[in-house]
């Protein structure tokens, strides 16, 4: 059973405000979204890709992150799943866990959770008011990302969490979360995504992710990739950090029996979630070695209760039956490859895919990975970055993916469900923002 959580919500109520006071959560959202560009909505122009701002901001706030114990997670794919799994396992062990992830699906507060509970609305309001009262605020001009990271660290410190599970937003080296010294760094895998910012080759991207490796802090690599292993070896040697491989830890760990592993594998069903679980097991093994009270039952219950404990959504999430309807937020080359591979293992009569993608990434390497035998329903995700349905349809046709355009993701899904037979499979995919509209 989870410990009772006493959440502080009025920490900043006594702060005098010299700028326009934010009175409620609706006004807080307006402030965040309209005054601060957000990468997920507007793209690279929202980025301020260095640590100067977040360092100044946290200094002004008293550096609450320094009083916390962190597990820091980066990687091209799987870092969200691994973050949720680790948080759930630690919660089951009776610890009070702060979880910071991004982006969110529906509610901004999804990014900051305390044992699965979203950050209180009143805290968001009071925090933004406190920020505006800082003498250096107008000079710092923090971004959407930086404000969210600062809010998370303050919230977790104010509520005296036992451990924080922190997912990077973009890259690692210069990500706003990278002002912490964790007790464990984790890099899930390396793939092609955000090349304009992180680099065009896998070793370049790996170098950015490896930036979360800190002096004498153990680092866990989720998936061995020969193209980038030398980057991690060099980073670990430079920082005198012990380097672990999830596969090696799994073979030597006695946390779970073979029977228990098989049971969890059967429950997860999707191969990429099984892979992510092995990274989480590796993390649990290292953390147990550091003295955390982790037992087999905590791991088993952590996966059993994953959705309940951390509200994990969006990855092979079942939305309905007759026909079967699933949503998966795969959006880059590696993610879509894994998704397509999984589709090949399933039995169905016809496949219907509702596809919505962002418009600021090249799709020529991604679209060929989708199954050509599927019937497609093209729609624009309801964000500025969303790719227009007709443009997506045109590009998809080059790769022999055919279907009609719809004015919204929901209408596309409704049409697919009407067209599908009871033994068909319906999938909503292409981006987090596409999935967010139907879950």
* Strand pairing class (425-429; 375-378): unpaired
Contact status, residue 190 vs residue 209, Cβ threshold 8 Å: yes
Tell which wins on pLDDT, 268 or 193. Answer: 268
Q: Output the CA torsion sign for 285, 291, 297, 299.
A: negative
pLDDT of residue 47: 52
pLDDT of 5: 40
400-409, pLDDT tens digit by residue?
A: 999 999 999 9
**Tokens found for residue 358:** 């962002």
How much of the chain exceeds pLDDT 90, in percent? 81
317-436 matches 25-310 in CATH topology:
no
Q: Which helix (H) or strand (E) holds 336?
A: helix 333-343
Residue pLDDT, tens place only, 343-387: 999 999 999 999 999 988 889 999 999 999 999 999 999 988 899
| 15 has pLDDT over 90 | no
Question: Strand order of the sheet with strand 324-328?
Answer: 317-320, 324-328, 425-429, 351-355, 375-378, 403-405
Q: How confident is the model at residue 272 (pLDDT cuts 50, 70, 90)?
A: very high
Q: Does domain 317-436 have CATH number 3.90.190.20?
A: yes
- Please state the rounded mean pLDDT for residues 53-78: 96
Under a CB-based contact definition with an 8 Å cutoff, are residues 331 and 432 in contact? yes
pLDDT at 197: 60
Please give the share of the chain, as a percent, with pLDDT higher than 70. Answer: 91
Mean pLDDT taken over the chain:
91
Question: What would the pLDDT profile of 124-137 be if each residue is shown by its tens digit?
Answer: 999 999 999 999 99
The answer, yes or no, to whether residue 8 has pLDDT greater than 50, is no
- Closest to 323 (Cα-Cα) out of 261, 223, 212, 416: 416
Residues facing residue 114 across a β-bridge = 98, 117
SS3 helix, strand, coil % of the chain, rounded to 5? 45, 15, 40
- Whether the CA torsion 437, 339, 366, 82 is positive or negative: it is positive
- Predicted TM-score of the model (pTM): 0.91
Asked whether the predicted pLDDT for residue 418 surpasses 60, the reply is yes
Contact 9, 154 (CB under 8 A): no
Summarised one tens digit per residue, pLDDT across range 75-99 is 999 999 999 999 999 999 999 999 9
Q: Tokens representing 186?
A: 């984790």
Confidence of residue 34 (pLDDT cuts 50, 70, 90): confident
What pLDDT does residue 360 have? 80
Residue ranges covered by each domain of the chain? 25-310, 317-436
| Residues 82 and 280 sit within 8 Å (Cβ to Cβ) | yes
User: Nearest 5°: phi and psi at 320?
Assistant: 180, 170
pLDDT for res 359? 87
Q: Is the pLDDT of residue 194 over 90?
A: no
Q: Among 36, 12, 67, which residue's Cα sits nearest to residue 145?
A: 36
Compute the distance between CA of residue 56 and CA of residue 32 in angstroms, rounded to an integer: 19
3-class DSSP assignment, residue 243: strand
Q: 112 pLDDT exceeds 70? A: yes
Beta strands in 335-408 (DSSP E): 351-355, 375-378, 403-405
Q: pLDDT (tens digit, 9 = 90+) per residue, 134-167?
A: 999 989 988 889 999 999 999 999 999 999 999 9
- CB-based contacts of 188, cutoff 8 Å, min separation 6: 73, 74, 75, 76, 77, 78, 79, 82, 222, 223, 276, 279
Residue 283 pLDDT class (50, 70, 90 cuts): very high
Task: Report the distance separating Cα 141 and Cα 409, nearest Å.
Answer: 35
Q: Where are the alpha helices (DSSP H) in 134-223?
A: 137-140, 144-158, 195-198, 202-209
Say which CATH superfamily domain 25-310 falls into. Answer: Mur-like, catalytic domain (3.40.1190.10)
pLDDT value, residue 196: 56
CA distance 192 to 75: 11
Q: Which stretches within 159-295 are classed as H helix?
A: 195-198, 202-209, 229-239, 246-252, 258-268, 271-289
């Amino acid at each position: 059973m989870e410990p009772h959580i006493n959440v502080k919500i009025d920490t900043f109520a006594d702060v005098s405000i010299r700028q326009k006071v934010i009175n409620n959560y609706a006004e807080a959202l307006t402030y965040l979204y309209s005054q601060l560009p957000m990468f997920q909505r507007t793209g690279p122009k929202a980025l301020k890709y260095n640590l100067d701002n977040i360092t100044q901001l946290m200094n002004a706030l008293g550096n609450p992150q320094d009083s916390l114990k962190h597990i820091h997670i980066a990687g091209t794919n799987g870092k969200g799943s691994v973050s949720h799994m680790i948080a759930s396992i630690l919660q089951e062990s009776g610890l009070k866990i702060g979880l910071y992830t991004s982006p969110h699906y529906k509610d901004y507060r999804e990014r900051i959770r305390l044992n699965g509970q979203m950050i209180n609305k009143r805290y968001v309001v009071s925090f933004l008011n406190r920020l505006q009262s800082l003498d250096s605020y107008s000079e710092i001009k923090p971004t959407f990302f930086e404000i969210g990271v600062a809010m998370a660290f303050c919230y977790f410190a104010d509520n005296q969490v036992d451990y924080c599970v922190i997912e990077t937003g973009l890259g690692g080296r210069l990500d706003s979360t990278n002002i912490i010294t964790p007790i464990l760094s984790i890099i899930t895998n390396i793939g092609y995504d955000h090349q304009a910012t992180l680099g065009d080759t896998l070793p370049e991207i790996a170098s950015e992710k490896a930036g979360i490796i800190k002096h004498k802090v153990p680092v866990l690599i989720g998936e061995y990739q020969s193209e980038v292993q030398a980057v991690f070896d060099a980073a670990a040697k430079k920082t005198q950090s012990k380097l672990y491989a999830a596969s090696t830890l799994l073979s030597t760990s006695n946390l779970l029996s073979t029977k228990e592993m098989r049971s969890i594998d059967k429950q997860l069903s999707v191969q990429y979630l099984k892979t992510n679980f092995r990274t989480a097991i590796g993390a649990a093994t290292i953390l147990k070695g550091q003295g955390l009270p982790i037992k087999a039952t905590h791991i088993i219950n952590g996966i059993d209760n994953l959705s309940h404990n951390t509200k994990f959504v969006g990855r092979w999430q079942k939305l309905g039956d007759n026909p079967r309807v699933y949503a998966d937020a795969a959006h880059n080359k590696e993610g879509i490859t894994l998704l397509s591979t999984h589709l090949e293992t399933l039995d169905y009569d016809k496949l219907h895919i509702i596809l919505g993608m962002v418009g600021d990434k090249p799709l020529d390497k991604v679209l060929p990975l989708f199954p050509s035998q599927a019937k497609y329903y093209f729609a624009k995700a309801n964000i500025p970055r969303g790719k227009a349905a007709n443009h997506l349809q045109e590009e998809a046709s080059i790769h022999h993916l055919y279907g009609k355009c719809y004015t919204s993701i929901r209408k596309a899904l409704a049409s697919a469900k009407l067209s599908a037979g009871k033994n068909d499979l319906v999938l909503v995919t292409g981006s987090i923002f596409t999935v967010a509209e139907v879950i």
